[in-house]
Structure 1
Amino acid sequence: MSLESTGILLVSFEVIQSIAPLIVFFTLFQILFLKLPLSQLIRLYTGLAFTAFGMILFLHGVNNGFLPAGTQIGEFFGESKKGFLIPVGFVLGLLATLAEPSVRVLCYQVEESSNGYIRSNLMLYTLSFAVAILAAISMAKIIYRIPFLYIIVPGYLFVLILLWLCDKDFVGIAFDAGGAVTGPMAVSFLMSMAVGVATAYEGADPVADGFGLIAMIALAPIIFVMLLGVYIRFNGGQKNVQ
């Protein structure tokens, strides 16, 4: 059996192992309480099957595509193109967030729930720019050996200040956005790139310097969305923010 086939089988087993308890729980709930009609059950189980199949394809693609690609890009720039690391981190952070499905879902939900008060495009560009800035800072952290605590602690102290100044409509959105941007695109591509940079960069430690990127990316939208909320609050709370 080929290594590729073994990889698919292993991923398939992991996905089935993960979602099987949810299916069992839903089935018991259906038998005891919901009692949905057969036609609706068929649609639900068909959706679960497609979900499982999609997860298998995605995780197999991550293992064979995104992770190696991110690592190779990081090692290339870490070895020979150190001066480009910060702008490359910015660009890749921007593109990864624009491509992140969970970010787009969040942006659509924000616009719908706010009745157009907060436009989805504004949220998308704010989150993308925020992640790009923190991804660039993460590259600078590796290059200049800046301790992780020197970035993350002041960042969250700044968040505590913004909590008092921000329009309250934006507080919950900001913290949810922190989870949305740390989806599969950021975790699989940007984190592997950071580890690759730290592995190849002379004097850097892959464990101490390569990790922490996801925590910084999660912090980015919290700060920038709250800054947007501060602007809205002190700009008269203008409606239909675009």
Structure 2
Amino acid sequence: MMQRLFAGYTAVLEETSLALAPVLLIFTVYHIFYLKVTRRYFVKIFLGVVIAFAGLTLFLQGVNIGYIPVGAALGELLADLPYRWILVPIGFFLGFSVTTAEPSVHVLVQEIDKVTAGAIPKRIMFFALCIGVAVAIALAMVKILAGLSLWYFLIPGYVLALILSYIVPPVFTAIAFDSGGVATGTMTATFLLSLAIGAASRIENANPLTDGFGIIALVAVMPILTVLGLGLLYRFKERKSRKNASAAADIDRITVPPAGTGK
């Protein structure tokens, strides 16, 4: 049991070490020659890196032995049902649920809240990202069931994103295109991708290579659109506020003539 649980763990350790080693090396060199933080603070950072290393290795090991097989099995099970359309709402629900557990999404939302000083509410931004991924997974299931080309989704999506980027406030444009990359994190690239491949492998006239893959591209574009849509709402709200402020200013400029100075 334990042997199967940690099968391939050595490879995961090597991959995580190669990913974290350059960051730790650069920080150490910078600390020695330029930063020169206190020893206590350096130990605190070093312990944080050790904890991150342990967490990443265990997380990736769990993904390899649990998440990917479960996603593939669930996709095959749902595709074998007589009412395959159930893949669409379940895909939407799973896309939303998995995004709530995506670490990179939480980091991005917290950074946005910190930089904007709460001007963009954290909950609203988080909800927009989750909805974007959920819609992307639902569309991916429609694509698999109907045998549609990926271009039918990507080209209109990016064209709409480019148009909206000229309308919404600049801060939303930058956040939107960053959110597309953040949403395609480890959770999406493991569970949801294996779910789509598993479903495509059981559907007639569907190819796991051409129909199962491509889900990451959809996940990359849909959060961009939802965040830009949120920016559009903020733009309309801003214009409405300005209009109300202008109307109030006009009212303030109206003077009432003194009594007895005319009709």
Report the TM-score when normalising by structure 2: 0.85
Equivalent position amino acid for 1:180 in 2: V
Q: Which residue of 2 aligns with 1:150?
A: 152
Going from structure 1 to structure 2, the CA distance change for 1:22 and 1:179 (only over 3 Å counts) comes to same
CA RMSD of aligned residues (A): 1.8
Contact 2:180 2:219 in 1 (8 A): yes
Among 129, 132, 135, the residue aligned to 1:133:
135
Q: Which residue of 1 aligns with 2:252?
A: none
Deviations 1:67-110 (A, max 9, x none): 11111111111222512111111110111112222222222222
Bigger relative contact order, structure 1 or 2, given CA contacts below 8 A and separation 6+? Answer: 1
Contact 2:193 2:216 in 1 (8 A): yes
- State the Cα distance separating 1:184 from its structure 2 match: 1.6
Deviations 1:147-197 (A, max 9, x none): 011110111011111112212221111111112211122111111111111
Q: Which residue of 1 aligns with 2:255?
A: none
SS state at 2:117 partner: coil
Deviations 1:100-149 (A, max 9, x none): 22222222222232222211111111111121111101100000010011
> 1:66-77 to 2 correspondence within 5 Å?
66-77=67-78
> 1:36-115 to 2 correspondence within 5 Å?
36-80=37-81, 81-115=83-117
Contact 2:74 2:195 in 1 (8 A): yes
Among 149, 162, 168, the residue aligned to 1:160:
162
Identity %: 37
Unaligned segments of structure 2, at least 5 residues: 242-263
Contact 2:79 2:202 in 1 (8 A): yes
- State the Cα distance separating 1:207 from its structure 2 match: 0.8
Shifted more, 227-236 versus 87-96: the winner is 227-236
Shifted more, 205-214 versus 38-47: the winner is 38-47
Q: What is the CA–CA distance in structure 1 between the aligned matches of 2:26 and 2:121, rounded to whole Å?
A: 37
Q: What is the CA–CA distance in structure 2 between the aligned matches of 1:109 and 1:33, rounded to whole Å?
A: 26
SS state at 1:165 partner: coil
- State the Cα distance separating 1:231 from its structure 2 match: 1.8
Q: What is the CA–CA distance in structure 1 between the aligned matches of 2:100 and 2:6, rounded to whole Å?
A: 32
Report the TM-score when normalising by structure 1: 0.92
Contact 2:74 2:198 in 1 (8 A): yes
Q: What is the CA–CA distance in structure 2 between the aligned matches of 1:115 and 1:174, rounded to whole Å?
A: 18
Q: Which residue of 1 aligns with 2:197?
A: 195
Q: Which residue of 2 aligns with 1:18?
A: 19
- State the Cα distance separating 1:11 from its structure 2 match: 1.2
Q: What is the CA–CA distance in structure 1 between the aligned matches of 2:15 and 2:238, rounded to whole Å?
A: 51
Q: Which protein shows a greater Rg?
A: 2
- State the Cα distance separating 1:36 from its structure 2 match: 2.4
Among 185, 208, 213, the residue aligned to 1:211:
213
Q: What is the CA–CA distance in structure 2 between the aligned matches of 1:119 and 1:25, rounded to whole Å?
A: 34
- State the Cα distance separating 1:205 from its structure 2 match: 0.7
Contact 1:232 1:238 in 2 (8 A): no
